[in-house]
Amino acid sequence: MNDLSRCFKKFKVYCGCPDPDDYISHSGLSEIKRVLLNNSPFLGDEIHLKIGAEVHLRSLKFKKSKFRFKPEIEKNIKGMVKALKENELWQFLMKVCEKEKEHTRNVLGVKLKVILDLKGKGKYKRLGADLKTTSCKTERAFIKAALEKYDYLRQGWLYKQAEGLDEFYFIGVQKTYPYNIFIFDVADYAKEEAAIAKETKWLIWFYKKFGRAFVKGAPDRKRKKSRTRPSVRRFYKKHGSNGKSSNRSMRKRNKSRRYI
């Protein structure tokens, strides 16, 4: 087993047995599975990630980022936020839940990074939910993608284990008009959840033995508690380790990023 671990590490497949202070997330476990199956990595457009982050920020924190989106994108973001505010389940969750709590929990002997969008308080403490933006146009399509493409059930099962939850929902909001709201209750898919739980336990065992999957270009695949943000790393790479740059070059750089 040790020889296999060294071989994986030598050929940059997996990063080796994790240290005691290392942690992994549900997406890290999905990445282990992807590499084992030799599937192509997800190459999502950065703008879609920024849109999702902005909807989370405005809906959960009631704040707005400094990014200036193109008018059509801004219109869709406002439409999604408005649709959520008008949804009865969302209104209920916002009243009884804490928002965007981040923890590192021990699950099956490993440290798991958990960022839970909504976690119930008081008598609703065993309730949790996660917000997703989606291109799907129907609830059926949203749930199909959740089960077959995005491993939402793994995320839900891990969060339930980490936070001691009994109920977990994924709230999907359509990215374009009419900004439909889709509800995915993991309790409706108990058989599928049992299968994903068994698979997840095996992936955790694999992580204990061989570590997280190596991804080319990733700065630190062992994931310590604190990491430099990607934007800061790119800045240092371009302008030097001291991070210095002339005001003129910075103004030019910021002007070019006025809209995304």
Please, is 132 exposed, middle or buried when counting C-beta atoms within 10 Å of its C-beta (0-12, 13-18, 19+)?
buried
- Give the residue from 55, 46, 107, 98 showing the smallest Cα distance to 76: 55
CATH number, position 53: 3.90.320.10
Would the CA dihedral through 142, 145, 146, 150 be positive or negative? negative
The pLDDT score that the predictor gives to residue 259 is 52
Which residues of 8-160 form beta strands (DSSP E)?
97-107, 110-120, 127-134
Question: Is residue 77, in this structure, part of any structural domain at all?
Answer: yes
Distance CA(235)–CA(240), nearest Å, equals 8
Distance CA(206)–CA(249), nearest Å, equals 47
* DSSP β-bridge partners for residue 172: 132, 182
Question: Is residue 4, in this structure, part of any structural domain at all?
Answer: no
User: Between 13 and 94, whose confidence is greater?
Assistant: 94
Would the CA dihedral through 46, 48, 50, 52 be positive or negative? negative
DSSP summary character for residue 52: H
Full residue range of the structural domain in which residue 82 is found: 23-210
Question: Is residue 200, in this structure, part of any structural domain at all?
Answer: yes
Q: Is 102 helix (H, G, I), strand (E, B) or coil?
A: strand
Question: Is residue 221, in this structure, part of any structural domain at all?
Answer: no
Q: Per-residue pLDDT tens for 217-244?
A: 444 444 454 444 454 455 445 444 444 4
Q: Per-residue pLDDT tens for 46-73?
A: 888 899 999 999 999 999 999 999 999 9
Distance CA(168)–CA(130), nearest Å, equals 8
Question: Is residue 198, in this structure, part of any structural domain at all?
Answer: yes
The pLDDT score that the predictor gives to residue 165 is 97
Domains contained in the chain, number? 1
What are the tokens at 177? 């008009």
Question: Is residue 224, in this structure, part of any structural domain at all?
Answer: no
